[in-house]
Amino acid sequence: MSGMGLGLAVEGLVTVLLGVTVGYCFILDKRLQRFRKDEGTIRQTVVELSLATERAEQAISGLRNTIAEADGNLAQRLRAAEHFSAEFDAKMKSGDEVLGRIMKIVATARLASGEQPAPAPVVKIAEEPQQEIRANRLADTLASARAMADRVRTRRFPLAQAAGHEHSAA
């Protein structure tokens, strides 16, 4: 009988273990079903993320093109401003020379006619500082624009800058 009791105990243990295995398989099946259902959501999320990344890359490319174009326009405008500033300075010097000659001619004509020479013209002191202020502002603006252009170039070509190769965006 003890052989029969031992056999019955082993069969009971096998039955319990089979029940636990069936329960675990049931739980595992539920988890696999949930995973399969979530797999579609994950795939959709990955596709959306890929599209968003592509759009972001296009936007960054557009921004880079805009920055390059703005840098070129800024450089062109700075060159034009430098040209006009130099031209303005030349015309101011030329005007001063012409004014000086006219003053000499008028003084000579008055002396020849016997009139009293006119006193030296009163130059407005306020004009000189204004011109100097304008020139300083122009120089400051030019320096700021150059610094901004250098920063843009550094950001656009950081590896080339580190290697010692300079790129010009103009």
Position 47, amino acid: V
How far apart, in whole angstroms, are the C-alpha atoms of residue 70 and residue 169?
A: 10
Global pTM exceeds 0.75: no
Give the model's pLDDT for residue 165: 47
pLDDT tens sequence for the chain (170 residues): 577 888 888 999 999 999 999 999 999 999 998 888 888 888 889 999 999 999 999 999 999 999 999 999 999 999 998 899 889 888 888 888 888 888 888 888 778 777 665 555 554 544 556 677 777 777 777 777 777 777 777 776 555 455 454 444 43
Residue 168: its pLDDT value, please?
A: 45
Asked if 144 and 70 touch (Cβ cutoff 8 Å), the reply is no
Rounded-to-integer distance, Cα 19 and Cα 124, Å: 109
**What per-residue confidence (pLDDT) applies to 128?**
56
Q: Looking at residue 117, what is its pLDDT? A: 55
Q: H/E/C letters for each residue in 9-23?
A: HHHHHHHHHHHHHHH
Q: Are 78 and 142 in contact (CB under 8 A)?
A: yes
Task: Report d(CA 90, CA 80) in Å as an integer.
Answer: 15
Beta carbons of 147 and 140 less than 8 angstroms apart? no
Residue-wise pLDDT for 96-124, tens only, equals 888 888 888 888 877 877 766 555 555 45
Domain ranges of the chain: 25-158
Residues 154 and 145: their CA atoms lie apart, in Å, by 14
Q: Is 123 left (phi over 0), alpha (psi -120 to 50) or beta?
A: beta
